[in-house]
């Protein structure tokens, strides 16, 4: 079987080989789900390559008005051959409409065709007669020897009962729903003949943007290796490296918890800056603070991030929580992790992520998936999360189960003065200092007391 690129960003990676050619692809969904955007992008992709393609809209609009409307689509190519069919005539006399379509296509011999929508053909027929007619349509589709997209205006429950689903080689169902301030669009691959792996069918989110439609697949996690206990990575804080017995094991998922103002972001940026100085590629994922804010704050400690950013060694992904789409977000992360071979990641913060998602369980699942993905790619990740104020003994972070290491930052009231404290709650597979120690945020970053006596600071170490 031969395959042809679909022209839909991300879809071919999911299918494995692109679209079977020739084939009939049934694109179904209700109004406004992106069906027309899908077929126009697939047609335009082939048209840009010099192939003859045809768009057959069954509509009550004139061709001139229709072309004006279609030109608003970001990927529409003017070379697409358009042949309009009157909707009323198609409903009453579908055989004549079908012959008209066939005569039009015979003149250009297209490699791709879209009938949008096909459901009006024979709309007024009794069910048995409609089925017979659609089997005649199927015979004509095979004669065209093209990739033919047939669009159907159907709800999900109507798809399997439609005769079109029986004659189609592939079925894609598009849907949309509003979740908070976001519109979530989904593509369900119900059937695709010729796809070698059954797991390539399922539900995938997609977005419509200035570059057209993009379909997102889940992060690929091929085995989750354990942290490399014999290979340690410096945090950039001498006192913390001493507490961990020589640094964090490579491949560790680290969670830094603490209430507001305890220094979580500073610790994370110090961890990243240390990696940059060692020649490692690093990624910062943030929600609350923009990259320019983080760069300015780092400069106050003498950490020049601009040089590494301009040199491509440092990457940022900044997303406002209210606009977060996890599939889009994960795709951006994966692109950088794999393209840049990232060694250190700072994710700031899980709390902001949860604020952007209405489903707390989905948020935790996403964080767990990211942690597994970072490990599978050999990256050491530092997540930050808020915990209850005043709890210096143990973190109240609800996602601590994902971490190999948990570090808790807090405050202690000593002699009427609030002093910052740090403790290691967990460091899987390693011995570590279990004492709670004081630390300070100085002009050089975080410094931890080398020893303590009733929390009286004797000496600080970076």
CA 112/CA 91 separation, integer angstroms = 24
Evaluated on CA atoms 56, 60, 61, 66, the torsion sign reads: negative
Among residues 181, 215, 249, the one where a domain terminates is: 215
Residues 158 and 244 in one domain: no
Among candidate residues 426, 423, 435, the one with its CA nearest the CA of residue 404: 426
CA 4, 5, 8: angle at the middle one, nearest 5? 145
Within this chain, do residues 155 and 255 fall inside the same structural domain, yes or no?
no
Task: Identify whether residues 251 and 342 lie together within a single domain.
Answer: yes
Do 338 and 266 belong together in one domain? yes
Between CA 187 and CA 194, with CA 191 as vertex, the angle to 5 degrees is: 120
Asked if 299 and 154 sit in the same domain, the reply is no
What's the confidence (pLDDT) of residue 459?
A: 52
Query: Is residue 80 included in any domain, yes or no?
Result: yes
Statement to judge: residues 261 and 371 lie in one domain: yes
Domain that holds residue 396: 228-461
* pLDDT score, position 457: 45
Tokens standing for residue 255: 């969670």
Total structural domains in the chain? Answer: 2
**106/325 Cα distance (integer angstroms):** 44
Determine the Cα–Cα distance for residues 89 and 94; give it in Å rounded to an integer.
7
With respect to residue 223, please indicate whether it lies within any of the assigned structural domains: no
In whole angstroms, what is the distance from residue 57 CA to residue 313 CA? 49
Residue 101 shares a structural domain with residue 31: yes
Domain boundary (215, 248, 282) is at 215
Give the end of a domain, one of 185, 215, 245.
Answer: 215
Is there a domain that residue 106 lies in?
yes
Low-confidence ranges of the chain (pLDDT < 50): 198, 391-396, 453-458, 462
First to last CA, the chain: 63
292 and 169 co-located in one domain: no
- My answer on whether 145 and 265 are in the same domain is no
Residues 32-49: pLDDT tens digits? 999 999 999 999 999 999
209 located within any domain: yes
Alpha-carbon distance 297 to 173, whole Å? Answer: 47
CATH classification of the domain holding 186 = 3.40.50.300
Q: Is residue 211 located within the same domain as residue 305?
A: no
Would residue 323 count as lying in a domain? yes
Asked if residue 142 and residue 75 are part of one domain, the reply reads yes
User: 83-112 pLDDT, tens per residue?
Assistant: 999 888 888 888 888 888 989 999 999 999
| Residues in CB range of 431: below 8 A, 6 or more apart | 245
Whether residue 345 is found in the same domain as residue 410:
yes
In a domain, 30, yes or no: yes
Q: Is residue 222 part of a domain?
A: no
Tell whether 433 is covered by a domain: yes
């Amino acid at each position: 079987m031969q395959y042809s690129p679909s022209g839909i960003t991300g879809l071919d990676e999911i299918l494995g080989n692109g679209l079977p050619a020739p084939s009939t692809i049934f694109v179904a969904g209700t109004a406004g789900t992106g069906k027309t955007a899908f077929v126009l992008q697939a047609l335009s992709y082939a048209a840009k390559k010099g192939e003859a393609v045809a768009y057959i809209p069954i509509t009550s609009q004139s061709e001139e008005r229709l072309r004006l409307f279609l030109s608003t689509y970001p990927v529409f190519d003017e070379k697409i051959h358009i042949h309009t069919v009157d909707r009323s005539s198609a409903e009453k006399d579908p055989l004549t409409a079908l012959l008209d379509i066939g005569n039009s296509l015979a003149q250009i011999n297209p490699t791709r065709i879209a009938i949008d929508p096909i459901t009006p053909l024979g709309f007024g027929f009794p069910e048995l007669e409609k089925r017979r007619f659609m089997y005649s349509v199927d015979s004509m589709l095979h004669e065209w020897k093209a990739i033919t997209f047939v669009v159907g205006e159907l709800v999900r429950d109507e798809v399997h009962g439609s005769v079109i689903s029986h004659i189609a080689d592939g079925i894609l169902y598009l849907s949309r729903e509003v979740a908070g301030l976001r519109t979530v669009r989904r593509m369900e691959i119900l059937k695709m003949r010729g796809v070698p792996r059954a797991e390539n069918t399922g539900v995938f989110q997609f977005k419509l943007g200035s570059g057209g439609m993009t379909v997102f697949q889940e992060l690929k996690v091929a085995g989750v290796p354990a942290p490399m206990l014999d290979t340690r990575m410096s945090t950039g804080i001498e006192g913390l490296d001493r507490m961990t017995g020589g640094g964090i094991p490579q491949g560790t998922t680290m969670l830094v918890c603490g209430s507001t103002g305890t220094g979580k972001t500073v610790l994370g940026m110090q961890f990243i800056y240390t990696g940059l100085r060692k020649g490692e590629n690093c990624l910062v994922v943030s929600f609350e603070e923009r990259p320019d804010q983080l760069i300015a704050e780092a400069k106050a400690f003498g950490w020049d991030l601009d040089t590494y950013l301009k040199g491509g060694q440092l990457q940022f992904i900044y997303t406002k929580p209210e606009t977060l789409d996890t599939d889009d977000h994960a795709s951006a992360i994966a692109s950088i992790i794999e393209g840049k071979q990232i060694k250190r990641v700072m994710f700031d913060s899980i709390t902001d992520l949860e604020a952007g998602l209405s489903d707390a369980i989905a948020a935790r699942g996403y964080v767990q998936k990211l942690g597994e993905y970072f490990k599978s790619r050999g990256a050491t990740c530092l997540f930050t999360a808020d915990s209850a104020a005043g709890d210096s003994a143990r973190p109240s972070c609800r996602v601590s189960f994902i971490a190999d290491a948990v570090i808790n930052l807090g405050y202690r009231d000593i002699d009427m003065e609030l002093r910052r404290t740090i403790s290691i709650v967990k460091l899987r597979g390693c011995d570590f200092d279990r004492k709670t120690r004081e630390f300070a945020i100085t002009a050089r970053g975080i410094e931890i007391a080398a020893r303590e006596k009733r929390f009286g600071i004797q000496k600080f170490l970076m």
